[in-house]
Amino acid sequence: MGYSINFGQVFEFVPYLLGGAWLSLQIAFLAFCGGLFLGLLGAFGKTFGGGILRRLVNVYVVFFTNTPQLVQIYFLFFALPEAGILLSSYAAVLIGMTLNAGAYLTEIQRAGFSSVRQTEMEAAETLGMSRWQQVRYVIVPHIARVLFPPLSNHYILMTLGTSMAAIFGVEELTGRALNVNSETFRSIETFSLTGLIYIGVTLIASVILGVAGRVLFRARMRIV
């Protein structure tokens, strides 16, 4: 084929690609935090809410967990303008990922709610705590330790999932890799280097989350 590997033409773009990796982490972090909050509200509604609230939460969860995240973002970016709602590509991706994460994190946190011992809840009721006080002082500290590992794994998956933002013109890591490839025409070198950066980012995030889980919540975390 006459193709010779030459990473020299791509290495000069490493700072540019690292900037994209930083943007990927920002998107994942913001979407995860928003999804975590939505998930907490959803788990609260499914655990303590009435019949109507539970049905509404179930509809939300079923819809967002049974349709592709990419289709959800397509709807926000391309369909909403028909209704006069214009979103930037960054906003559409961030909102889409947040809503999607909220549905999955609703189920994860609901499982955490269910794992709280009944005796702890009865003790909180005896002390006169309201439902929100029980969530804040009894349930959340408990699920923070129990659910930190699966929540951390979900965050890593969300970080990798930010690559779809490139479809909408967001210059995160994959988006910038596409730009580098179109300028250098070095596909093997460009995407090999991009893959290595993704591996480095996820490994660093895993170590940070593992240490944080052990120190802050005494969670059983495996540190790479």
For 125, phi then psi, to 5°, come to -65, -40
Domain ranges of the chain: 8-217
Dihedral, CA atoms, 62, 64, 69, 72, nearest 10 degrees?
120
**Averaged pLDDT in 10-residue chunks for the chain of 224 residues:** 80 95 94 94 88 94 96 95 93 97 92 77 79 77 78 91 94 96 93 95 86 69 56
Residue 172 is predicted with a pLDDT of: 95
Angle (CA) 23 27 32, round 5°: 145
Range 8-217: architecture per CATH = Orthogonal Bundle (1.10)
Residue 216 is predicted with a pLDDT of: 66
Residue 28 is predicted with a pLDDT of: 94
Model pTM score: 0.86
Pinpoint the alpha helices (H) of 185-218.
187-217
